[in-house]
């Protein structure tokens, strides 16, 4: 079973959306026996909470049910998961600092590296902004979902 962990700051907006959208694509493509996904935050500020109500409402309008409960990422997640996917540059830096040994080089990537034309960019934090920020999160995550699934299946086969 291949596995992906999505990581943002709070684990209540961006990474739960990535988890929900990518899981939706995994199910639509009949890959549920081959690939699993989870999400976490670099902080534990919102640990135990459901995804942000605004994020859930925007996701729901596109047909996604966000069911995750927030938790903080830990170094052991680098052993558990095949890929650890940072949503922005700050998350990437924090994860690189906590990754044991060489695992940062092999497992740590950025979500937008799989979004055509957006390589190296961030999935911007929508928490303090308006509706368009939540829509932007969904646009970027939808655009990268299939390329990311293809990539993890290739590197783990
Ligand atoms: P996320 O968004 O990292 O996409 O879950 C945020 C959630 C909470 C906060 C910031 C960003 N916060 O400052 O509490």
Q: What is the pLDDT of residue 138?
A: 98
CA 94 to chain centre: 15
Report which ligand 1 atom has the smallest distance to the Cα of 17. Answer: 4
Report which ligand 1 atom has the smallest distance to the Cα of 91. Answer: 3
The residue segments making up the domain with residue 145 are 2-156
Of 6, 41, 68, 125, best ligand 1 pocket probe by most atoms within 8 Å of the beta carbon: 125
The domain total for the chain is 1
Q: What is the pLDDT of residue 23?
A: 98
C-alpha 82/C-alpha 89 separation (Å) is: 20
Q: pLDDT tens, 8-55?
A: 999 999 999 999 999 999 999 999 999 999 999 999 999 999 999 999
* Residues lining ligand 1, Cβ inside 6 A: 8-14, 45, 125, 127
Q: What is the pLDDT of residue 103?
A: 83
Q: What is the pLDDT of residue 66?
A: 98
94 alpha carbon – ligand 1 mean position (Å): 15
Q: pLDDT tens, 78-125?
A: 999 999 999 999 999 999 999 998 888 889 999 999 999 999 999 999
Whichever domain contains 39, its CATH number is 3.40.50.2300
Kindly list the distances between the CA atom of residue 26 and the CA atoms of 36, 116, 125, 140, 152, in Å, as whole numbers in the listed order. Answer: 8, 19, 25, 17, 12
CB 155 within 8 A of CB 41: no
């Amino acid at each position: 079973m291949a596995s992906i962990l999505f990581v943002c700051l709070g684990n209540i907006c961006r990474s739960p959306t990535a988890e929900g959208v990518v899981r939706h694509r995994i199910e639509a493509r009949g890959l549920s026996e081959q690939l699993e996904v989870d999400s976490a935050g670099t902080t534990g500020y919102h640990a135990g909470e459901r995804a942000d109500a605004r994020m859930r409402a925007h996701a729901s309008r596109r047909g996604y049910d966000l069911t995750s409960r927030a938790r903080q990422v830990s170094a052991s997640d680098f052993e558990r998961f095949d890929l650890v996917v940072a949503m922005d540059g700050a998350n990437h830096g924090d994860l690189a600092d906590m990754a044991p040994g060489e695992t940062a080089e092999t497992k740590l990537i950025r979500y937008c590296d799989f979004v055509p034309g957006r390589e190296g960019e961030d999935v911007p934090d929508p928490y303090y902004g308006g509706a368009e920020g939540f829509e932007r999160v969904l646009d970027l995550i939808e655009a990268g979902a299939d390329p990311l699934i293809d990539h993890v299946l290739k590197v783990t086969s």
